[in-house]
Amino acid sequence: MGKAAAARKLASAAAFGGGGVSALGAALYGVMRVEASLARKTIGEPRDEPPPDATGWYGRGRPGPAIKMALLGDSSAAGYGVERVEETPGALLASGVAERADRRVYLRSFAVVGAMSSDLAEQISRALPIEPDIAVILIGANDVTHTVLPSHSVRHLAEGVRRLREAGVAVLVGTCPDLGTLKPIAPPLKQVARAWSRRLAAGQTIAVVEEGGRTVSLGSILGPEFAAAPALLFGPDQFHPSSHGYRSLASVLLPSALAALGLLEPDEIEPEPYRGEGVLPITAAALQAVNTPGTELGGTEVGGNRLGVRGLWVELRHRRRHPSTDGTAPEADEEQQPGPERAAASEA
């Protein structure tokens, strides 16, 4: 089976409840389970102390109306491993959006250390009452290390994106990174993890875009850039990013978040062929995104049609990264929160 067919089959299996394990083979699935257990022992149990909470207001003194962001997902979204809230991806992303858009930003983090795709439903139920303008989701790595079938992971993600889009929320998903680069993961698990995470990322991409969301490939977050400087970009457990790593993560997400919010500079609106940007069928675009970290995909139309002979039309972009914005601590001023935010905060 070719890569395109495998990605298409994975997304279809997720939609109809199929198993999807044949993409890797039953024998490799067994190896994955054993080796993943050993890798989790090497990484160790999560610390009892939770990551700093990035929830709050950003962009003091900037004009309104405020942009409301919900951050969903796992430890990579929560900022596990850093000591200061300014170093978390939530604070870095919200600070960046506030600066680039010249607007106040209210960020609410619902991310949970150790979360898998099956945990998204609860997080989304908590996020919807704040009526966010955008939801940023980082999920998938724990699904791989806990050997959750990719079709199951993709189905949970697709259902979550559908709920958010039906509520009028823009959605940006950072797809599963390439776990084959992680130091605690040894061969043969390393090769299996690479294949598993890339196929999961392709399936996530197809499912999210079909549900009306936008994706950006995070392969670079645990890819060549990290492999070249693991001591700088990974934390002490060699699994979670360091503060420098989270800054790299935020720099990848920021341009796509601005695009999802419709806050692009005029010269960023149309695709640039010289940067390899253009329109492709969804499966071909998903596979290219997996192999080209930092690639953003979103649905588009060709001749007034969203569907072509080979499936949904997708706009493939390689957004220019903005100069890094220093993260700031949030302003925890509940008196300034709109009603839904205050109610959600009191329930948490």
- pLDDT tens for residues 236-283? 444 556 767 788 889 889 999 999 999 987 777 788 888 888 999 998
Q: Tell me the pLDDT band of 335, cut-offs 50, 70 and 90.
A: very low
Residues contacting 273, CB < 8 A, separation 6+: none
Catalytic annotation present for 237 = yes
Name the active-site residue from 75, 95, 117, 256.
75
How deeply is 46 buried, as exposed, middle or buried, from its count of CB atoms within 10 A (0-12, 13-18, 19+)?
middle
* Catalytic residue chosen out of the listed positions 22, 237, 244, 322: 237
Listing DSSP states for 240-273 in one string gives SB-HHHHHHHHHHHHHHHHHHTT---GGGSS--G
**Which residue is catalytic, options 53, 240, 242, 243?**
240
37-81 residue pLDDT tens: 555 555 445 556 778 899 999 998 898 789 999 999 998 899 887
pLDDT of residue 17: 40
Assign 28 a pLDDT band (cuts: 50, 70, 90): low
pLDDT score for 225: 47
**Partner residues linked to 317 by β-bridges:** 296
197 is known as an active-site residue: no
The pLDDT of residue 272 is 84
Model confidence pLDDT, tens digit, residues 207-216: 999 999 999 9
264 and 322 Cβ atoms separated by less than 8 Å: no
List, for residues 284-300, the tens digit of each pLDDT value: 898 888 888 889 999 99
* 3-state SS record for 173-240: EECCCCHHHCCCCCCCHHHHHHHHHHHHHHHHHHHHHHCCCEEECCHHHHCHHHHHCHHHHECCCCCC
Looking at residue 307, what is its pLDDT?
A: 79
User: pLDDT of 143-177, one tens digit each?
Assistant: 877 778 888 999 999 999 999 999 999 999 999 88
Radius of gyration (C-alpha) of the chain in whole angstroms? 19
Catalytic residue check, 326: no
